[in-house]
Amino acid sequence: MISNKCKYAIKALVYIAANESDSRAVMTSDIARDQQIPRKFLEIILRELRNNRILESKRGKDGGFRLLRPAEDISLSEVMRIIDGPIAMLPCVSLNYYRSCDECDESTCEIKGVFEQVRDRTLEVLNGQTIKSLTLNC
């Protein structure tokens, strides 16, 4: 399962992509209201996405958030990794957060192979979807 935080992050990005314009940044409070996300929690999430160069922000009146890059260049897998960390089901098959399992020998591990397959199938979907492609469902 992905966390609520991650679900909120994805929905917020899709909302921003669908509502931003040159003349308008999208405010936390608008996203929170329309997507039913606790506002203060959402602030933390959006700041984290900004710190990871997914969003840019503008403070003060008429402030808000915009995508820092085109929506078609932000993949779902990238967002999920920022918020929730590894996508793989085992640390030892993670591409971006690899850790060895201290209790088992990877060269003879009976289950590593299956979870590599799961990882690859999962990433085929998640790498192929972007914030742009998700806005088409709006």
Partner DNA sequence: TATATATCCTATCTATTTGATAGTATTTAT
Partner DNA sequence: ATAAATACTATCAAATAGATAGGATATATA
Residues that bind DNA (CB under 7 A): 3-5, 27-29, 38-41, 43-44, 46-47, 50, 57-65, 84
Binding mask 46-85 for a second copy (x = CB under 8 A): ------------------------------x---------
Q: Smallest gap, in angstroms, from Cβ of residue 38 to a second copy?
A: 9
66 binds, among a second copy, DNA, none (CB under 5 to 8 A by kind): none
Residue/partner pairs of 59-66 with CB below 8 Å, 24 or more apart: 62/25, 63/25, 63/27, 64/24, 64/25, 64/26, 64/27, 64/28, 64/30, 65/16, 65/20, 65/25, 65/26, 65/27, 65/28, 66/16, 66/20, 66/25, 66/26
